[in-house]
Amino acid sequence: MAVMSCKKLLSRAVKGVLFLSLLLLLIAVFIPYLCNRYLLPQLSAQFPFSEQTLEIDSISPWKLKGKLKFSVEKNNVSLSQVEIDYSIPGLLKKEVERVVIDGLAVNLYMDNGRLVLPRSWQMVNYRPLYCLFPMRMRN
């Protein structure tokens, strides 16, 4: 009788672990989709760019990978890959451990022998992203 209940308990524990593993896998797959579909379009609508692309490729409790592109007319800034390393306790303290930017492209123009941002990028009444999500880099 005790052996039977021990087997049932073990069977339930294995089923519980499998269920939680499947649930975590589904969450890991669908969080980037939900962010790309609902959250990021609302966030990017606040920026004064004629065209913007924000995309999250993957997200985990320790890392976020994505792409950014902002443009006004033909002038653009793009980051082909952005990788942010963080920890849950660090996020609660509003700290990020590391930001890796791969493939930064900025279109500039020459004005009196100096590289400058296009005049169309001069933004009025613009609330920067860092005001929405204040974070600091950890030393």
Question: Are 7 and 15 contacting, i.e. CB atoms less than 8 angstroms apart?
Answer: no
Question: Are 97 and 83 contacting, i.e. CB atoms less than 8 angstroms apart?
Answer: no
- pTM of structure: 0.60
For the chain, what are the domain ranges? Answer: 2-137
Alpha-carbon dihedral sign for residues 69, 77, 45, 73: negative
CA distance 57 to 51: 19
Task: Tell me the mean pLDDT per 10 residues along the chain, length 139.
Answer: 72 91 84 88 79 86 86 75 89 87 77 68 48 50
Instruction: Give every CB contact of residue 102 below 8 A, 6+ residues apart in sequence.
Output: 79, 80, 81, 82, 83
Amino acid 18: pLDDT: 93
Determine the residue type at 28. Answer: A
Amino acid 7: pLDDT: 82
Amino acid 20: pLDDT: 92
Amino acid 132: pLDDT: 42
